Every structure is written in structure tokens, then in C-alpha cells.
């Protein structure tokens, strides 16, 4: 008996979140090899590339080549990220699986620095995306609230602000004659705590009790899995994560860089608490070792070093 979800959807963000911050260069073939290995674990969605300015993010200069090279496993979605219409148009020229997403940011300062657009401009941009989705017959899926828990420029984001953002996402979708599957709350820069999860998720649930919520959590200050656990207890059943904790780095040279919650650590925690994910944890741990080999330095995941408990249990079963 448990008040936790029975099944959690895990979206792998490692190839995108991880490889975009690595000093690299990382060979395109190795990125493809990693994505193909991830697809063999049972993961159903893998964020592969960003369609962003290659001058600013040199690690993503081969985005088109990566997504065109991946040998696809049926049933798995190979997605990508864009921050503006130019990026979306680039994505549409590739075989990437387009997720009909719209994005707003709780902190307008962060929004301007991350995308070059203020909030009003962002809303207009989202309307353009919704037009494009309709033209290209891309179903509208998820709305995202970036920096939903805090921001280095604006501090804590109030629950009122988050509710305003959620309302705007729902309104944008409705204007376009669509409806959202649900809303992602993103702790983009690691201000979240378990208590903040409860407060913000609670405030959104109070207004929209039946709206599915999902989380994108960065583990900047070590509270990532605690935050995820607080959200699981509230019934949140969809999470982004990165294999081996890609995106973070224990080297002082990458001071402050921190990836998402680590996929295999999160999957380990879920499985040990009786939550199914459809993922083969042992295969995922092999992917985490591959990730370390590709980036050429240790990554922050823990289970990749300690191993799961499966081999202990097998030994125990053999003894009895």
C-alpha cells in the first residue's frame, strides 16, 4: 500500500542537457551511439539535441546530423529543444519528433537572458508556435513554466506568479483551439526544496485539481531527489532526468554547473519504492558508464558507481 504513483514516466534529457555544456568536442557518432543505447533501456522519450545558435552553443552545432543519424527504435520518441521560431523551423526540417510544447518563464529577467525576449514577446512567440503546430498538424501537448521555483536574477517565484503563468499557458492553448496534456514546472536553476515543491504544486492543484503536472528538476544543490520524492508523494508521475546526471560536472572548472536529477538514481529510487517505470535499470547503468566514457570525466550519478541492489539480491537468493 502506498500513496505514491504506480507508474512514473521518465523523459531522458541527457544527450541534450549534457552534451550542450561539455567543453567537447564530442564526436557525432558517439552522441548517436549513446542515444541508441538509451533507447534500448525502455525509456520512451529521449531529448537528443537543441536547435540553438551554434555560435553560442558549439556542442549543438551537429544537431541536424545527430538526429538524422539515429537508428530509430519503434515506439521511442526522439525529441529536441528550441527556444525561438527559428529553432522550431530548423527542427521541422529534420526527422526529430516534434513535441507541441509552449513555454513561458516565471522570471522575466531570466527569460530575456535565455531567449532575448521579454514576457509579452514570449507570449507572441508562443502564438506563432501554436500556428505552426496547427499548420504542420503537430498536436499541442505540454506547457512549460521555466524557473517556477526561483531564479538567480529575481529570487523566489511566488505561487501567484506560477498560477498566472499556468493560466496564460492554458489560455494560449485555448486561443489556438487546443488543450494541454498538462504543465511542466521547471526548477531551471536549482532553487527548489521539497517544501517549495509542496507549496507550488499545492497552489497549482488547488486551482486546477485535474491538470497533470510534470517536473524538470536541476540538482544544483543536492536536493533533486528529495524534491522529486516530495512531488511523487503529491502524485506527480512524469519527470525529466539525465543519465549519469549529465549536465553537471564535479570539476572545479565547471563551477556551479549542475545537471538534472540523475536518471538511474531516480529510477533506482522509484523501483525500490515499488513504482514502475518500464526501464531496465541495469541497462541504464551501462548507459551511464558510456556517458562518462564519452565526456571523459566523472559524472555526478551515484548508482552508476555503487550499482543497484539487484546483484546483492541475486546472491542472497542463491544462498537461501
- Based on the shown chain and the rule CB under 8 A, indicate whether residue 229 belongs to the binding site for a copy of itself: yes
Question: Residue 262, SS3?
Answer: strand
Per-residue binder mask for a copy of itself (CB under 8 A), 293-312, x = binder: -----xxxxxx-xxxxx--x
Question: If residue 265 lies in a helix (H) or strand (E), which one and from where to where?
Answer: helix 263-272
CB of 101 to a copy of itself, least distance (A): 27
80 versus 190: smaller Cβ distance to a copy of itself: 190
Per-residue binder mask for a copy of itself (CB under 8 A), 271-290, x = binder: -xxx----------------
The DSSP code sequence of 30-88 is HHHHHHHHHHTTT-SEEEEEE---TTT-GGGTTHHHHHHHPPPPTT-EEEEE-SSHHHH
Helices 194-207, 159-175: inter-axial angle, 10-degree rounding: 50
| Cell numbers representing residue 234 in the block | 503529491
Question: What is the C-alpha separation between 310 and 271, in angstroms, rounded?
Answer: 11
For the question of residue 249 being annotated catalytic, the response is yes
Instruction: Tell me the window of 91-99, 140-148, 179-187, 247-255 that interacts with a copy of itself (CB under 8 A).
Output: 247-255
CB of 131 to a copy of itself, least distance (A): 37
Judged by CB under 8 A, the number of residues near a copy of itself is: 53
Residue from 48, 151, 243, 249 carrying the catalytic annotation? 249
Per-residue binder mask for a copy of itself (CB under 8 A), 128-157, x = binder: ----------------------x-xxxx--
CB of 196 to a copy of itself, least distance (A): 8
Q: Cα 119–49–5 angle (5° rounding)? A: 80
Question: What is the C-alpha separation between 290 and 23, in angstroms, rounded?
Answer: 17
Taking the CA atoms of 265, 279, 143 and 48 in sequence, report the sign of the dihedral they define: positive
Q: Which of 84, 126, 220, 238 binds a copy of itself (CB under 8 A)?
A: 220
Query: Any idea which residues carry the catalytic annotation?
Result: 249
By CB under 8 A, name the binding residues for a copy of itself: 2, 4, 150, 152-155, 190-191, 193-196, 219-223, 225-226, 228-230, 250-252, 254-258, 262, 265, 268-269, 272-274, 292, 298-303, 305-309, 312-313, 316
Amino acid at each position: 500500500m502506498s500513496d505514491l504513483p504506480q507508474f512514473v514516466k521518465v523523459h531522458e534529457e541527457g544527450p541534450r542537457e549534457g552534451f550542450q555544456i561539455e567543453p567537447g568536442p564530442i564526436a557525432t557518432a558517439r552522441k548517436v551511439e549513446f542515444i541508441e543505447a538509451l533507447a534500448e533501456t525502455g525509456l520512451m522519450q529521449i531529448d537528443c539535441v537543441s536547435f540553438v545558435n551554434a555560435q553560442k552553443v558549439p556542442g549543438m552545432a551537429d544537431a541536424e546530423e545527430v538526429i538524422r543519424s539515429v537508428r530509430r527504435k519503434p515506439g521511442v520518441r526522439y525529441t529536441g529543444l528550441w527556444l525561438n521560431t527559428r529553432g522550431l523551423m530548423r527542427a521541422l526540417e529534420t526527422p526529430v519528433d516534434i513535441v507541441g510544447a509552449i513555454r513561458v518563464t516565471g522570471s522575466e529577467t531570466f527569460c530575456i537572458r535565455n531567449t532575448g525576449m521579454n514576457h509579452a514577446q514570449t507570449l507572441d512567440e508562443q502564438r506563432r508556435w501554436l500556428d505552426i503546430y496547427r499548420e504542420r498538424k503537430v498536436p499541442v501537448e505540454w506547457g512549460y513554466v521555466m524557473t517556477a521555483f526561483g531564479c538567480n536574477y529575481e529570487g523566489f517565484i511566488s505561487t501567484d506568479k506560477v498560477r498566472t503563468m499556468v493560466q496564460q499557458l492554458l489560455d494560449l492553448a485555448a486561443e489556438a483551439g487546443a488543450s494541454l496534456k498538462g504543465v511542466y514546472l521547471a526548477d531551471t536553476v536549482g532553487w527548489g526544496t521539497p517544501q517549495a515543491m509542496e507549496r507550488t504544486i499545492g497552489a497549482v492543484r488547488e486551482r486546477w485539481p485535474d491538470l497533470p503536472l510534470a517536473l524538470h528538476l536541476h540538482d544544483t544543490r543536492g536536493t533533486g531527489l528529495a524534491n522529486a520524492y516530495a512531488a511523487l508523494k503529491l502524485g506527480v508521475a512524469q519527470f525529466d532526468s539525465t543519465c549519469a546526471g549529465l549536465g553537471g560536472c564535479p570539476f572545479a572548472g565547471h563551477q556551479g554547473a549542475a545537471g538534472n536529477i540523475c536518471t538511474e538514481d531516480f529510477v533506482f529510487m522509484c523501483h525500490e519504492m515499488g513504482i514502475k517505470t518500464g526501464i531496465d535499470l541495469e541497462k541504464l547503468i551501462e548507459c551511464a558508464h558510456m556517458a562518462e566514457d564519452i565526456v571523459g570525466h566523472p559524472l555526478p550519478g551515484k548508482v552508476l558507481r555503487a550499482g543497484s541492489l539487484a546483484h546483492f539480491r541475486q546472491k542472497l537468493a542463491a544462498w537461501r
